[in-house]
């Protein structure tokens, strides 16, 4: 008797550059391999790779079912320059790198290709090779609803969105305040807007959208994109909430060990973790005010220090993991000495998820990137919301007003930065005030909800099973 061996489905994932896009797709790849018996080819754009990206794909812990396929680096010197904005740089890097995609897909032979927000140029190549295409939406379901509405907005609104007198009424979900709009739609004349519109207009071309969120976090937006008549009219693909996909654990290096030794000696929920993600940077003036505010608050803190930039809030985006700096050259004189024992200053890049998961972590002063927001909530940690760029203002408002787990500091009229007194106020509020306790309880509820969603039989687990069954039927 011949026993037939089960043929495992083979899919390929193609993230755009940037750790905020690579990390959740890589976690998804690991889950597909370990939980669903799917083989994965993870296609990596190596042009402009950061040190953190290189380190990730050199890890010895990559599951055996994942094959890393490096797309050879391309010369970008004649395509981008020092004035090219982040999204344009990402999209141009993708455009040049994907000239090699056809030959790679022919060799790899996947049945399914999963693109992300900014690798949609791959759709046509995949279709020509009879490969099914899905999109992994790395941001919130709220931004997904806005993105599916953007082509209509682009046709119907004349002039700039920032000049509108009322919030934008996104079908079926909460209106978006003009001041919260993501950077890429604030000036319709520049390439950033054209690139964003280009990619969001192509969401309707895929067979399904994998959304890195879960039912209890964004019920209104998820219900809208699945049921509201507008999204049916524009033929939006099926949406599968599969989150929160975050790093489940991180390797702790000898260099990082001192952080956890220090945390082990602090009381539960007593430490404010201050970090601005993989790309965020503050101006010199704002960093000075932040340091003074932390000192004045007299609360315990870990500050991930990074060279300030007066030119761009995303200055570290392409250099994450490679920025070596001396905080004494840009933090207030004597700050480290005065806060010794109460605060811990670390350089540039830390195991964020592991810190948020430590029992001493009581709140997270965050730029509100979607991955960082999910990591914070998945560990039951409330957020002091400090948005810097991209869609982070939209996320901050969602977390504060829609979810109830965050507080935003206020910039006083006539000021360009958040002052030290305001920083002291909101730090004390979230660390020791009654409002902070309410937010912490709400964050704990969402932690339990996230755990349930991802567990066998949970809403996100079932979504992955549903789409995995579709892919298995293609074998």
384 pLDDT tier (thresholds 50, 70, 90)? very high
Q: Which two tokens stand for residue 25?
A: 């797709």
pLDDT band at 269 (very low <50, low <70, confident <90, very high): very high
Segment 411-432 shows an average pLDDT of: 95
pLDDT digits (tens, 9 = 90+) for 196-218: 999 999 999 999 999 999 999 99
Q: Which residues have a Cβ under 8 Å from the Cβ of 331 and sit 6 or more positions away?
A: 287, 288, 291, 305, 345
Q: What percent of the chain has pLDDT over 90?
A: 83
Q: What pLDDT, on a 0 to 100 scale, did the predictor assign at position 6?
A: 64
228 is catalytic: no
> Which has more pLDDT, 326 or 219?
219
User: What does the pLDDT read at residue 347?
Assistant: 81
Q: Establish whether 116 is a catalytic residue.
A: yes
pLDDT at residue 226 above 50? yes
| Complete domains list, the chain, with CATH | 10-247+453-472 (3.40.50.2000), 254-450 (3.40.50.2000)
The average pLDDT across 427-455 equals: 98
Tens of pLDDT, residue by residue over 33-89, are 999 999 999 999 999 888 888 888 888 889 999 999 999 999 999 999 988 999 999
- Residue 391, pLDDT above cutoff 80: yes
The answer on pLDDT for 313 being more than 90 is no
pLDDT above 90 (res 22): yes
- pLDDT tops 70 at residue 322: no
- Coil/strand/helix, residue 59: coil
Q: Is the pLDDT of residue 422 over 90?
A: yes
Q: Model confidence over 165-174: pLDDT tens digits?
A: 999 999 999 9
Nearest-CA neighbor of 431 among 333, 344, 361?
361
Q: pLDDT band at 325, cuts 50/70/90?
A: confident
Judged against a pLDDT cut of 80, whether residue 252 lies above it is answered with no
Q: Is the pLDDT of residue 277 over 90?
A: no
Query: Can you give the pLDDT at residue 70?
Result: 96
Is the predicted pLDDT of residue 179 greater than 60, yes or no?
A: yes
Residue pair 317/86 in contact by the 8 Å Cβ criterion: yes
Q: What is the pTM for the complete model shown?
A: 0.94
- Give the per-residue pLDDT at 2: 43
With a cut of 80, say whether residue 242 has pLDDT above it. Answer: yes
In DSSP notation, 126-193 reads HHHTT-EEEEEE-S-HHHHHHHHHHHHHHHH--S-GGG-SS-B--TTSPPBPGGG--GGGS-TTSHHH
Bridge partner list, 304: 346
- What pLDDT was estimated at residue 3? 41
Q: Which one of the listed residues 21, 228, 358, 379 is annotated catalytic?
A: 21
Mean predicted lDDT score pLDDT of the chain:
93
Q: Mean of the pLDDT values across residues 425-429?
A: 98
Mean pLDDT in residue range 341-354 = 90
Is the backbone of residue 348 left (phi > 0), alpha (psi -120 to 50) or beta? left
> So what's the pLDDT on residue 324?
60
Please pick, among 10, 48, 116, 183, the residue that the annotation labels catalytic: 116
- Cα–Cα distance for residue pair 448/363, rounded to 1 Å: 17
Percent of the chain at pLDDT > 70 equals 96
User: Which of 407 and 255 is assigned the larger pLDDT?
Assistant: 407
């Amino acid at each position: 008797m011949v026993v037939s061996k089960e043929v495992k489905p083979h899919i390929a994932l193609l993230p755009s550059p940037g750790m905020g896009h690579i990390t959740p797709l890589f976690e998804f790849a690991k889950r597909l391999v370990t939980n669903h018996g799917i083989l994965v080819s993870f296609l990596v754009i190596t042009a402009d790779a950061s040190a953190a990206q290189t380190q990730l794909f050199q890890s010895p812990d990559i599951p055996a079912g994942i094959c890393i396929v490096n797309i050879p680096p391309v010369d970008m010197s004649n395509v981008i320059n020092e004035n090219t904005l982040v999204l344009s740089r990402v999209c141009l890097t993708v455009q040049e790198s994907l000239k090699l995609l056809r030959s790679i897909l022919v060799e790899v032979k996947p049945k399914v290709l999963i693109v992300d927000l900014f690798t949609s140029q791959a759709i046509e190549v995949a279709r020509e090779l009879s490969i099914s295409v899905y999109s992994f939406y790395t941001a919130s379901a709220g931004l997904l609803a806005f993105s599916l509405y953007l082509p209509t907005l682009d046709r119907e609104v004349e002039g700039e969105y920032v000049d509108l007198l009322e919030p934008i009424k996104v079908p079926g979900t909460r209106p978006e305040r003009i001041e919260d709009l993501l950077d890429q739609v604030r000036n319709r004349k520049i390439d950033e807007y054209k690139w964003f519109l280009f990619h969001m207009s192509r969401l309707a071309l895929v067979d399904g959208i994998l959304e890195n969120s879960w039912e209890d976090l964004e019920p209104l937006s998820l219900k809208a994109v699945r049921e509201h008549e507008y999204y049916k009219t524009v033929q939006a693909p099926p949406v599968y909430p599969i989150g929160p996909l975050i790093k489940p654990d991180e390797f702790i290096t000898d260099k990082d060990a001192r952080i956890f030794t220090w945390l082990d000696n602090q009381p539960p929920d007593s430490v404010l973790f201050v970090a601005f993600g993989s790309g965020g940077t503050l101006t010199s003036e704002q960093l000075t005010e932040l340091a003074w505010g932390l000192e004045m608050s007299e609360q315990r803190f870990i500050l991930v220090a990074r060279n300030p930039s007066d030119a761009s809030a995303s200055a570290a985006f392409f250099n994450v993991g490679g920025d070596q700096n001396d905080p004494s050259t840009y933090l207030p004189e004597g700050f480290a000495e005065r806060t010794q024992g109460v605060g811990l200053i670390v350089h540039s890049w830390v195991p964020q998820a592991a810190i948020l998961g430590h029992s001493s972590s009581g709140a997270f002063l965050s730029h509100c990137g979607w991955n960082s927001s999910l990591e914070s909530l998945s560990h039951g940690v409330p957020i002091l919301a400090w948005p810097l760029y991209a869609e982070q203002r939209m996320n901050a408002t969602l977390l504060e007003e829609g979810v109830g787990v965050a507080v935003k500091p206020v910039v006083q009229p006539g000021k360009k930065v958040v002052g030290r007194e305001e920083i002291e106020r909101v730090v004390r509020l979230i660390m020791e005030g009654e409002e902070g306790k309410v937010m912490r309880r709400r964050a704990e509820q969402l932690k339990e909800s996230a755990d349930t969603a991802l567990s066998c039989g949970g809403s996100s687990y079932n979504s992955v099973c549903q789409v995995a069954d579709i892919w298995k039927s293609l074998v």
